[in-house]
Every structure is written in C-alpha cells, then in structure tokens.
A and B are shown apart, each in its own frame.
Chain A
C-alpha cells in the first residue's frame, strides 16, 4: 500500500464547476498535511496547509479527517487557470515528507 494515495484522474470539469480531490495516508502518526500545485513541466508550489478544523483560502477549502486518515481539497468556481496537478503531501515526523503522485485537473471553457 502506498503511504499517500490519490486518485490520479484526470478530472475534466467545465469552468465554474466545483471539484473535490481526496487523499488517504497510511501512517496514523503523520503530523502535518499540505496540498501543492504543480503545473505541467514546472516545480511544485505549496498551495495550502490542511488543518483538522478545516481551512479556506478563497475558492479553495481543505479538510483533514485524522480518524479516517483522509485529506480533501475542494475547489469552487473553477477557473481555466486551475488546470494543474494537485499533490497531497504528508509530513510524518521531522523531515520525512511523503508526496502523493498527484491528481490531474483540466478545467475547460
């Protein structure tokens, strides 16, 4: 079993749609959680941290369910510019950071 698993997609959605990505992690001792965005042939960029209480940044909402070892990212009112690969990232202890393989999103006009 992979330590961090994501649906690879691709998700194809029209502009204005709401789309949700899920991610599961295997180590219950994992300490911190993040979503990164990676554009085609570019480096990953930190999108947002994920907190148990849930957190929002504009059109993006992240949720963490520690009991189910599950992380989600919700994007509302999708824009063409949201097209990218979204990486789920788990930091286990100290410097052990595990990246998921990513979920590809295509937003169409």
Chain B
C-alpha cells in the first residue's frame, strides 16, 4: 500500500519563487490536510479538504493555496516563497474528521 505520498522530499527555493507540493493518497479518504512543523512548535494546520471540490483554511493559511479536484490529490501551492515558509510540510488523510490517521513522509522546504 502506498498510503500518502508526498513529493518532493526536499526543496530549496529562492524568495519570490512559486512551487507546488504534491500529495496523493490511494485509500479513498475524503479528508485531507496540510500541516507545517517548525522547531519547538506543534504541527499547524494550513488548509484542509473534506472532499473533492471542498477546501477550507486552517490556522496558518496565508501564502498558500490548495485545490481538490479529485479525491486522491491535494496539492499545496506556495504563491511567492518567503524565508518564513522554511519548514517541514506534512500532508495527511483520514476517512473522517480527526484524527489524521495517515501522514506522508514530509517535504523539507528551505527558502533562501
């Protein structure tokens, strides 16, 4: 089982560049979410989706966009990267609302 697959695993961006972090799950889960994890802080919710075509903001949505055109995919777009977005990003999915049962392996993003 692939579970939740995130790509890329590592990325370095220059300030102002844009990019998309990919997330795909093969478990037919309706709920998917994106988190960022910074040292000394818990995972913070960026955006989430409760099904195809439905997304909503989490705790720290500024600077990020999402879309959910299929059940399987939930990409996260950084519009104009800033050093404050240097973080580890996790995508997660579950069959229903909380807890996030399955996490991807993470994307370590550095913005210089």
Contact = CB atoms under 8 A, between A and B. Distances in A.
A95 B97 contact: yes
Contacts of B101: 46
B42 A45 contact: no
Name, among A8, A44, A91, the residue most crowded by chain B CB atoms within 10 Å (CB to CB).
A44
Interface stretch (B13-21, B43-51, B61-69, B70-78): B43-51
Name, among B99, B101, B103, B104, the residue most crowded by chain A CB atoms within 10 Å (CB to CB).
B99
Nearest to A100: B42
Contacts of B12: none
Interface in A10-41: 32, 34, 36, 41
Contact of B42 (A43, A49, A87): A87
Contact of B40 (A8, A32, A49, A87): A8
Interface residues of B, number: 22
B34 interface: no
A57 B31 CA distance: 27
23 contacts: A4-B42, A32-B98, A36-B99, A41-B106, A42-B105, A43-B90, A43-B104, A44-B43, A44-B103, A45-B103, A46-B99, A46-B100, A49-B99, A87-B42, A89-B99, A91-B97, A91-B99, A94-B97, A95-B56, A97-B45, A97-B100, A99-B44, A102-B42
* 10 A-B pairs with least C-beta separation: A91-B98, A99-B42, A43-B103, A99-B43, A95-B97, A97-B98, A101-B42, A34-B99, A94-B97, A100-B42
